[in-house]
Amino acid sequence: MSPIRLAIVGLGKIARDQHIPAIAKTDGIELVAIASRHGGLDGLPWFTDIESLLAEGPAIDAVALCTPPQVRRQQAAVALAAGKQVLLEKPPGATVSELLPLIQAAKNGSQTLFATWHSRFSPAVKPARAFLAEHGVRRVEIEWKEDVRVWHPGQAWIWEPGGLGVFDPGINALSILTDILPAPVFLTRAELAFPANRDAPIAADLAFSDSSGFPVNAAFDFRQTGPQTWDIRVETDAGQLVLGKGGATLSLDGKALIGEPEAEYPNIYKRFVELIAARESDVDLTPLQHVADAFLLGRRTTVEDFED
């Protein structure tokens, strides 16, 4: 079978650091073109936007949309209308409601729409889900703190409406949380810190619960310097389970259970190939719904200006 011919739309940091190496490692798919305002790659056809890619570019079967979330809905709609399979970087869009017509369009065309949550493909996530299915959860504490200047240098879109601010990394924690817990949770409180000169939060403190009442607390912050923190601690009736380093490690009461190399993006593309072969979609909006709830319930405070 011929490999899936893929074009990347949006050649930014995440595409260069993660998508391109992952595609090269994945059987059954190959990168054949780039559409980006920021230039292309040597040896591949390059176009400034998805419309010119589809009109003038080489034959393609699928697109990976790595652009800022504010413009993904329109790009995905164009690609689906052209009969292409579509992979969405996280978050899948700027709003929840804009994604529903895309889901229906993919269904109508028997096409694949894949909303990726890369952190769910971390090595500790599946074992943690299996463990929590068998042991009672008493409390969850999430600490997700990183330096925005390191991970999003000069990316003004992240501070604009729809850019999510600190929820851009924080949604990774929520994607893991909603995948490993045996029952759904709902937001009960949110405190959002907005720089005086920005339209998206730089920090957030959240509280969730479920029908049984156990607490889930999450602290997100974009102002961390030095070592970065991406940890989820779950108190259970069998001890403390810790997913560390964004889900790369897993321990129980300090005893290491999992510590494998990162393979999130190769696993994403493996899943994309499988979905296309099965003519299926995979679009879970739960993490984005929790972020939307945080903006609905959030008590806003103003903090000092942020300058990149």
**Cα-atom radius of gyration of the chain, to the nearest Å?**
19
Strands 29-35 and 4-9: parallel
Set 13, 25, 84, 90: catalytic member: 90
Handedness of CA 209, 213, 214, 219 (dihedral sign): positive
What token pair was written down for 176? 């893991």
Please state, in angstroms and rounded to a whole number, the distance separating the CA atoms of residues 21 and 301.
40
145 labelled catalytic: no
For residue 27, the one-letter residue type is D
Whether the CB-CB separation of 76 and 101 falls below 8 Å is answered with no
Q: 33 has which bridge partners?
A: 7
Give the residue numbers marked as catalytic: 90
